[in-house]
Amino acid sequence: MVATPERAPDYAGSGLLLSARGLTKTYGGQCVVDGIDLDIPERAFTTFLGPSGCGKTTILRMIAGFETPDAGSIVLDGRSLSGVPPERRPVNTVFQSYALFPHLTVLDNVAFSLTLRRQSNIDVAARVKRALDAVHMTAFGDRYPHQLSGGQQQRIAVARAIIAEPHLLLLDEPLSALDKKMRGHLQIELKDLQRRLGIAFVYVTHDQEEAFALSDIVVVMNKGRIVQKAPPLTIYARPANAFVADFIGAATLLPGDIVAGEGANGSAAIDTAIGIVECPAVEGLAKGDRAVLAIRPEHVRIGTDGLSAVIRHVVFKGDRYLVEAEVNGFILQFLADNPLTPGTTVGLIVDRDRAFITRIG
């Protein structure tokens, strides 16, 4: 995974949409959401990212009203959601399972929430058309869910969710059942839709590439806590700790000791198994502290005057090869244009301007 340049956020200058304070949830004695504080801006695409069981879906369900927090508060648009049932919250949810009614046509599925409110037929028809136009499904109104592909069903689920014009749209791993090519296509459509609608999306996924492709803000979670909240490029290039560095893309993590604190050039030095490496300093880490040097595959290249390394594994990735090489008992990964033979020795050079020091955690 290679980070791409950060674009100017569409939500710049937006106000605060949602604020959670001290949010806590326990199941069977296990704390799955551990007193988190969180702010979500208007018009932002925010993604909760983390391994299974980290609490990300539970947070989504508490915002939607499907779960009640054991402690803490959620305020949306300046209004406390405490005691407000799901149907009275200005929030809609798109589920992984789509949850379409199999006996209703596309038109009737999308219109369902409006017909329950007994809105006029003219108003319902106009809003259904706008919703289907938004997801490019206008021509499929008379079909039933079983006559649609998985990607088309997901578009209908999104149309049904946006027709009520929610202040916030929640999406719980909505693309996980689709193949990789379809996921990539719908990621582009979702982000484009979010920009056009101008409403906040909160998305849940365990897929790092998906989170980076979609998001203005990524909230990385582990064991019920928020580990880091930042734009995708910051998460990738300057992870808050070793967990984030390891979870976000491939990385070799080398423990070591800080032997030189922040110098005049903003750098620090860490003593590791591959020697002393100078990298950009990290605020709060000083000489003598234990830390981790993180090296991603794109930080490493072959060079005759580099570290002596033995090729262990070569994996074909389509356009390039991912190579694992052993240096002093540690595995460094790097990308190569041509296959290398396992067992051969090469020299490896680490780009010390791009490798980074991070906290243990």
Same domain, 131 and 56: yes
Query: What is the domain range of residue 171?
Result: 16-237
In a domain, 62, yes or no: yes
List the single range of 18-32, 194-208, 249-263, 327-341 with lowest mean pLDDT: 249-263
Q: For 49-62, what is the mean pLDDT?
A: 96
Q: Is 135:155 a contact under the CB 8 Å cutoff?
A: yes
pLDDT value at 247 more than 70: yes
CA torsion, ordered 218, 221, 226, 229, to nearest 10 deg: -10
Same domain, 165 and 58: yes
Same domain, 192 and 270: no
Query: pLDDT tens digits for 200-216?
Result: 999 999 999 999 999 99
Q: State which amino acid sits at residue 231.
A: P
Query: pLDDT tens digits for 61-83?
Result: 999 999 999 999 999 999 999 99
Q: What percent of the chain has pLDDT over 70?
A: 94
CATH number for the domain spanning 215: value is 3.40.50.300
Same domain, 91 and 227: yes
Same domain, 233 and 255: no
Same domain, 193 and 255: no
pTM of this prediction? 0.88
Q: Give the span between the Cα atoms of 185 and 151, in whole angstroms.
A: 9
Query: pLDDT tens digits for 170-186?
Result: 999 988 878 888 888 88
Same domain, 35 and 154: yes
CATH number for the domain spanning 258: value is 2.40.50.140
Same domain, 275 and 212: no
In a domain, 4, yes or no: no
In a domain, 213, yes or no: yes
In a domain, 242, yes or no: no
Domains: count for the chain: 2
Split at pLDDT 50, 70, 90, the class of 9 is low
In a domain, 11, yes or no: no
Average pLDDT of the chain to the nearest whole number: 90
Same domain, 258 and 231: no
Same domain, 100 and 192: yes
Q: If DSSP codes are grouped into helix, strand and coil, which group holds residue 208?
A: helix
In a domain, 244, yes or no: no
pLDDT value at 264 more than 70: no
In a domain, 6, yes or no: no
Q: Give the span between the Cα atoms of 174 and 301, in whole angstroms.
A: 38
Domain final position from 204, 237, 270 = 237
Q: If DSSP codes are grouped into helix, strand and coil, which group holds residue 260?
A: strand
In a domain, 167, yes or no: yes
